[in-house]
Amino acid sequence: MGVHICNRFLKLHNGYLLPSVGLGTYQLLGESVCEVVDKAISLGYRHIDTAHSYNNESEIGDVLKSRIESGSITRTDLFLTTKVPDILHEPSDVLEGVEESRAKLKTKYLDLVLIHHPWTMRKNGQRDLKPMDSKGELQFVKFNLQKTWRSLENCVKDGTVRSIGLSNFTIGQIQNILDGCTIMPANLQLECHAYLQQKSLHEFCKARDITLTAYSPLGAPGRPEHHRFTDQPVLLDDPIVDSISQAHRKTKAQILLGWLVQKGFCVVPKTKSEKRLTENLEIFNTNLSNSELVKLQALDRGIRYFKFKYMTGHPEFKPAEDF
């Protein structure tokens, strides 16, 4: 007997509801991000996932402000996630970054703010997101992120942020935050799909009431060149996924997204296509049988599409561990 997908929201430990299908906006810039976000809102998306480093918060804020002013949505309908970049981990920088994101997104509060990566880098005068020294090497900093976390806790206490969480953290790095926190992480965002199922992190977070958001849930087909390696098969070409999609008369993407939501994940797929934007929301009536669930589980190969090889040498970069 199959399990019916009906998890349209994930309940965070503080009671707020996270829509389980969001719009990812990585690599969407300028006019392009405006068009996609506007289209997505009209189709029913209410969860928008961005980051300081995506360089598109202002454009997203313009679209949301215009939608709210026109009366087609209210601010309380929306769930906005953004992320603190690696160069703004010092407590005073965290506050500055949060205020900047809030101003760009034109909102009084942010629904969820994540520490984007556990890999602190030195802030320079230009605030380069990838600061280089005179030899052209990235400037790494060893830093205890409990300090960054305390600063985010203050943002929750003053009402500018509702929930806080982590992204790309290992179990040990999450534990470090848990050891020093007064407000628990509400969410962990991580690369997760049928080829990288993240079982240990899933179990660890589930036991601690930390929800999970899967980025690249379709295997990151549009990822940039520096994240492409020859040992990465194309998830959307997998014959098992294809056969299940044909049996259900669903797209392969719908099967992969529906399966993750059925497992209790939030997903934030990215697309510019109106057709795919629509299809990605139509996953709540998929009824995968137990044998299909077993077949999808068997696809786990530990294949990571975002390897972050440029962070090699950072004291907190641990490629041998799940993150």
Catalytic residue set: 54
Query: How far apart, in whole angstroms, are the C-alpha atoms of residue 77 and residue 61?
Result: 15
Cβ–Cβ contacts within 10 Å for residue 135, how many? 5
Cβ–Cβ contacts within 10 Å for residue 141, how many? 17
Q: To 10 degrees, the CA torsion angle through 311, 313, 314, 317?
A: 70
Residue 86 makes CB contacts below 8 A (sequence gap 6+) with: 116, 117, 119, 120, 121, 129
Q: How far is CA 91 from the centre of its chain?
A: 23
**Residue 189's beta-bridge partner residues?**
167, 213
| CA contacts within 13 A on the Cβ side of 149 | 23
**Residue 82's beta-bridge partner residues?**
113
Exposure string for 23-38, b = 16+ CB within 10 A, e = fewer: bbbbebeeeebbebbb
Tell me if residue 133 falls in helix, strand or coil.
coil
